[in-house]
Amino acid sequence: MRHAARIFLLLTGAALLAHYLPLGWHILTAGRQRVPYVYYGDTGAGFLFTRVEKAGGDTRLIHTDAAGRALERDTFESLLPLTFHAQLYKTGAMPKEIGGVAVTPGALRREQFNLRVRPDQLDTPLVPLHPVFETDNGRARLEIPPDFMRINGAAGVADAPGPGARRRAIEFLDPKTNTILPEKSALYTDAFARARFVFPVTAAGSNPTARKPYDEGIYLADAEGQVFLLRQARGRPGLVRVADHAADPAAWRALRPRHIIVNEIETRELRALIIDAGGKPWLAVGENHRLVPLPVTRYNPAADTLSLRGNLLHRLLVVQTAAAPGAAPALEAVALDRDYRVLDRHHETLPDPAARPAARAGRVLFPLAWWLAGDTSGYLGFHARVTPRDLLPAAAALNALLLAAHLLILRRNKTLAPARLPDLAATAALGLCGLLPALLLPRAG
Amino acid sequence: MSRALFYKEWIKLRLWWVLMLAAGVAFALVLFFKLRYVANANEAVTVWNAWIFKGWLFFRPFQYVPLVFGVALGLLQFLPEVQARRVRLVLHLPLGETRAIALHLAAGLLLLALALLPAALVFSLGGALWFPREWQGNLFHVLTPWLLAGAGAYLAAAAVLLETNWRHRVFYLLLAAGALRLFLLETFYDTCARILPALALWVLALVLVPLFSSHRFRKGLVR
């Protein structure tokens, strides 16, 4: 027991130090990762950037073009009239048309959108209850639905409530009474059965807010990977298989969605952003749900951030990739026309925060670091990093020094015994994080 | 003899336990009535939206109560024993030192659980009045790490008090503080769902530490 207790204390101490010491080191030494903000010129200037430049101890914003030439702020803004329209209207420099397209404040507002997909947004705790908005409630504004839909996933139909009754596949819950609405549940269960929806739901996407111009509905992928669109009009369900109404039904049938993101914009151009089982992003656009593959060269939805911005003239796709084994963090921007054809591409490698001298020193000092809260998931989980291969000799040398010191201390205290092997192993493997608890631990006998 | 030990612990702690139970239930009832007020003052759908989309859980102020109860119970149970050196008698009982201390710990953990579970029941039954079954899952995933933190705090307090060396006491305190902080990191419902088994295993293994301390206490080890 006492040896087990001692080893448990040693492991706990080493694990806690491997958590807190690298965290403290990071807080003391980490700098801000300066990611440039990318634009695509509205008047043929190509990619433009706002960067943070460090000059001495000071930082300042600089505006540059794709060649890296610094631009005056006024010049920069005049190249991006659709972005800085408020300033250009104020100075009277706003063009009336660009490339034959009339520019009006109403059109500017209507056509502008910004859709951003972060990894933690795709892996986050959710209560599986969906508010089903009225797509056509006869009112000027959307209203928050008075009930919530629960998808049980078991296609059972109960005619009468009772102990022997099976749950309905779809249940509507009334928050006022905290009870199931039997009629509406039956209506929706029938709609799912009629549409030949195969339970369970494998992906669902909707935008559960009333602060949007209209309601797109709820996209649901069934067990066979088929995508359905559920809408409610005046209390009646409408569930359709998207492939049956799409311009490219074969592509929809082959799609195996893992994540579906819905973000309604006033022009109703964007239907959904879909990330398939292989991590490839697709966009469903237009009235006939045309499926457009987003032309990014590297995107891992579990680690990278993707954003799609649009305006009157073009779309800009930006992917910020995190550092991966053998690949530095990078920024990829793809300018698309309004028909989602590639106009231009930009790729740049971002400075790797892990390559900074202080971060590298941290990886030598602490061969193992772990943390619970990551920026890639809404859940707490065990995330760990070990010393990279190029720093292993340095880390091993430091650990060897610490091990020698540990041996000397044990010899001086006349406590060098086989019972100390776990302590020495902890120092050899974890360096400082193993040595400190080993020295502070009580003796077992 | 086991029953006699349990009885001794009960006699020693019953007043404090009743106070803890009353305080826990009273606090849970206050939170329940606050929920009732919120539910009556707002549209039910607004309350559900706050829960589903903003992670509002009415029992969240209860977060540190199990931790405080755990520390308090550990102190109340072991401080008198250690101060008066009565624990030496316990360690020399024919039960054996490990079994005797394990029974003390079992009694303490049982009393801690019985002090906290009625409050959990108030949350569960109270929540069931206004929320559907999905809410109970959130309650489980949010409350369990707090209860485990309470059990961990109790075991750590016992280990600290039974330890004979001040340097090691401080070491245990630092370990407990560093570890138990991780039990209370949750910011939204279900965020701890994936680490719950690891947290539970750690608390289970933590039982070894007060037993280790009691062994050192009996042997008179001071290094």
CA atoms within 13 A on the CB side of A261: 22
In the predicted model, residues of chain A with pLDDT beneath 50 are 155-161, 163-164
Degrees to nearest 5, angle at CA A376 with A203 and A15:
125
The whole-chain average pLDDT of chain B stands at 92
pLDDT value, residue A45: 86
Say whether A1 and B163 touch across the interface (CB within 8 A). Answer: no
Chain A positions touching B194 (Cβ under 8 A) are 379-381
Q: Is B168 within 8 Å of A6 when comparing Cβ atoms?
A: no
Query: What pLDDT does residue B83 have?
Result: 83
Q: Which of residues 133-172 of A touch B (CB under 8 A)?
A: 144-148, 150
Q: Which residues of A touch B53 (CB under 8 A)?
A: 208
pLDDT on residue A160: 43
Three-state SS at A260: strand
- CA-CA distance, A241 to A239, in Å (whole number)? 7
A380 Cβ contact partners less than 8 Å away, ≥ 6 residues apart: A372, A373, B185, B186, B191, B192, B194, B195
State residue A159's pLDDT score: 42
CB contact (8 A) between residue A380 and residue B185:
yes
- Cβ contact (<8 Å) for A129 and B195? no
For B128-159, write each residue's pLDDT tens digit: 999 999 999 999 999 999 999 999 999 999 99
* Domain segments of chain A as ranges: 2-31+357-440, 37-111, 115-310
Hey, what are A334's tokens? Answer: 């793809």
- CA-to-CA distance for A81 and A72, rounded, in angstroms? 15
Task: State whether residue A414 sits within 8 Å of chain B by CB.
Answer: no
Q: What is the mean pLDDT of residues B62-75?
A: 96
Q: In what order do the strands lie in the sheet with A305-310?
A: A113-117, A305-310, A314-321, A330-337, A342-349
Best CA proximity match to A242, nearest among A224, A260, A234, A230 = A230
**Residue B43, CA distances (Å) to A144, A397, B38, B46, B206 in order:** 11, 65, 9, 5, 46
Chain B positions in Cβ-Cβ contact with residue A4 (cut-off 8 Å) = 208
- Segment B111-127 shows an average pLDDT of 96
Question: Tokens representing B187?
Answer: 């910011």
Pick among B42, B49, B173, B204 to test the A interface (most A CBs inside 10 A): B49
Which comes out higher in pLDDT, residue A142 or B118? B118
Asked whether A42 and A344 are in contact (CB, 8 A), the reply is no
pLDDT for A445 equals 63
Which of the residues A7, A12, A439 would you substitute to probe the B interface, choosing the one with the greatest number of B C-beta atoms within 10 Å?
A12
> Which of A17, A19, A147, A178 to substitute to test the interface with B, most B CBs within 10 Å?
A178
Distance CA A19, CA B185 (A): 14
Distance from CA of residue B71 to its chain's centroid?
8
Distance CA(B179)–CA(B203), nearest Å, equals 10
What is the CA B196 to chain-centroid distance, rounded?
Answer: 15
- Residue A299 has which token pair? 């995107």
Q: Which residues of A169-190 are buried (b: 16+ CB within 10 A; e: fewer)?
A: bbbbbbbeebebbeebbbebbb
User: What does the pLDDT read at residue A154?
Assistant: 61
Could you report the predicted ipTM of this complex, rounded to two decimals? Answer: 0.91
What's residue A213's pLDDT?
A: 87
Would the CB atoms of B212 and A9 count as touching at under 8 Å?
A: yes
Report the candidate in B13, A255, B123 with the shortest Cα–Cα distance to residue A241. A255
The answer to whether B56 and B34 are in contact (CB under 8 A) is no
Alpha carbon distances (Å) from A391 to A23, A362, A387, A426, B69: 19, 10, 6, 19, 46
Residue B26 reports pLDDT greater than 70: yes
Closest CB from A5, A125, A208 relative to B209: A5
Residue B84 predicted with pLDDT over 90: no
Chain B: closest CA distance from residue A290 (Å)? 31
- Nearest chain B Cα to A174, which residue? B45
Structure confidence at residue A234 (pLDDT) = 85
Considering only alpha carbons, which residue of chain A is nearest residue B201? A8
pLDDT at B222: 59
**Distance (Å, rounded) from C-alpha A295 to C-alpha A110?**
25
